[in-house]
Structure 1
Amino acid sequence: MAYDEALASRVRSALSDVGDLREQKMMGAICFMVGGNMCCGATGDALMVRVGRDGYEAALGQDHVRPMKMSGGRRPRGFVLVDPPGIETEDELKRWITRGRKFVATLPAK
């Protein structure tokens, strides 16, 4: 599945203050790596956010959020997808990206 370039551009803009940012394309998505750890990404028209296992259930309780599903049906706990209605405004988008950044800040840099 291709990713929405407009969403990817919005994510780039929201992460413009990150010094250790790298983009990596994988499985049709574009992922944004902070400190070598996947923070968020764009897959289709949804925002993928790494919220961690402890934040997974709470994130799924939010509007417009669903589990991330890999090919083959595997659902990695700790990653969610936020559909377009949940990231319409820049504030909503930044709130989700900040959630991903806070989680990866707890991980050792790679």
Structure 2
Amino acid sequence: MTGPADPRDALSQRVRDVLAFHPNVREVRMFGVQSFMVDGRLAVAAGRDGDLLVRTDPADHDDLLRRGAVPAQMGGDRPMGRGWLTVPSLTIGDDAGLAFWVQVGIDSRRQA
């Protein structure tokens, strides 16, 4: 049972607020994250610890690392690749920071 203090649930609600303007958003819970599909493609996912998994344009990988993201990992510390980053909860502590990273995830769909 999760309560209001659950970091994933709190972040999920904040992401919902950011995406409220977008007409085609669907949520899917899988592998311990709350995923947000925008126009049928995964954009971001709220992790158990309040970190945000973000789909990115691989060409922007290094620049986004400098903005506070870290390489995303699968189980067993295997990297997910240059198209995925994890943004620590401290980096998305304010609404502007979260909105920036959600937009990165939305914009990544143009790269596929």
Residue 58 (structure 1) aligned to one of 63, 66, 72: 63
**Percentage of identical aligned residues:** 28
Gaps of 5+ in 1: none
RMSD (CA atoms): 1.6
Residue 107 (structure 2) aligned to one of 99, 102, 108: 102
Matched, 1:24 2:28: yes
Equivalent residues, number: 105
Match of 2:9 in 1: 5
- Give the number of the structure whose residues are more often helix, by fraction: 2
Give runs of ≥4 in structure 1 deviating > 6 Å. none
Tell me the CA shift for residue 85 of structure 1.
1.4
Task: Compute the TM-score of the two structures, normalised by the length of structure 2.
Answer: 0.85
Tell me the CA shift for residue 74 of structure 1.
1.9
2:56 and 2:84 in contact (8 A); partners too:
yes
1:3 and 1:29 in contact (8 A); partners too:
no
Gaps of 5+ in 2: 1-5
